[in-house]
Amino acid sequence: MSRQSTAEEIVAVCSRLYDRGLIAGQDGNVSVRLPSGHILVTPTGLSKVDVTPETIVELTPSGKQVTGGRGASSEVGMHLRIYRERPDVRAIVHAHPPVATAFGVVGRDFMDAVLPEVIFHLGRVPLVPFALPGTPALGDAMAPYLADHDAFLLASHGATTVGPTLQLAHQRMESLEHAARILHAAMQLGPVNRIRAEDVEALRRAREAARAGWDADAARTEVDEEDE
């Protein structure tokens, strides 16, 4: 994929986040790390439904803007911190999915093993303590969780998902909100049952086996981009 096609992919994800009700107004931000190490990220001040490939901002790995026009999202510091800590991550999605965000508002995480889809697709999802959005404190708050997790609830501040591809990072955000809706409904009906430890371990092994395939897909994508 070329830089242009990557920018178009970011725009498509923004539209889908908006259509699914996972963001509103100027909420959320999406980024992709290019094979060069540069970052493409959504701009500040625009509703995601209004983002176009021409408004996508390009940054160096240190955060220096190399394109004109609007500046990068105010949350870009969080993205850059994740990319520094996680060489395997190629894409990041931050959104405000309503039910998942509500879990974070009341101080609940997704660490209990109750849904096989969450264990396989997301892994366990921690609750990151509140830090002021758009400040280095947010990256600092996330730092203890970055190495071992691919999805994060941010206390009173939405959720962030990462992946070796933008497709997978986006899928994880949709899966997180879907799981939150299921868990919320289940809690209205009665006690939530946990999955047996041996089944959790089987799902964990399956996730680790699948990770090799996800990483291989990302590697093939990078080779294709370098060839264009």
pLDDT digits 0-9 by tens, 25-67: 899 999 999 999 999 999 999 999 999 999 999 999 999 999 9
What are the structure tokens assigned to 153, written together? 């609830």
Residue 223 has pLDDT above 90, yes or no: no
pLDDT of 211 reads: 79
Q: Which residue has the tokens 């264990």?
A: 119
Computed on alpha carbons and rounded to an integer, the radius of gyration of the chain in Å comes to 17
Give the start-end residues of each E strand in the chain. 29-33, 39-41, 57-59, 91-95, 127-128, 151-154, 159-163
Distance CA 146, CA 83 (A): 10
pLDDT digits 0-9 by tens, 201-210: 999 899 888 8
What are the structure tokens assigned to 51, written together? 């983002």
Q: Where do the domains of the chain lie, and which CATH numbers do they carry?
A: 3-227 (3.40.225.10)
Residue 224 has pLDDT above 80, yes or no: no
